[in-house]
Amino acid sequence: MKIKTYISVAEFINYKGREDIEAIIKKFLPTKEEFNKCQKLVTNIYSFYSDNDEMNSLKNLENYANMLSANKILIKKAGILVQNIM
């Protein structure tokens, strides 16, 4: 199976200090093997993120995009994208 396009909006939210929420999110975080599989199955990968996301550092957002080998699309001063597009 091949997937033509995958669009990522930011990454998993950083809830440092909230052990209850961290435990839940950890179950959904992709492993390195899953990131590698995604790269093989998806033809086009795009990652949208902002330079002033309140929940994630720019470094974490760029790292997530790098792990996907995504085409990075930085939207300056857009804040938390998921919050601002819903």
Q: Kindly give the confidence (pLDDT) of every residue in the chain, 86 residues in length, as a single tens digit, with 9 standing for 90 and above.
A: 889 999 988 666 666 677 887 788 778 888 889 888 988 999 999 999 988 888 788 888 898 899 889 999 998 987 777 655 54
User: Which tokens belong to 10?
Assistant: 């930011």
* Residue ranges per structural domain of the chain: 3-85
Whether domain 3-85 has CATH 3.40.50.1820: the reply is yes
Phi-psi region of 80 (alpha: psi -120 to 50; beta: other; left: phi over 0): beta
Pairing of strands 3-9, 71-75: unpaired
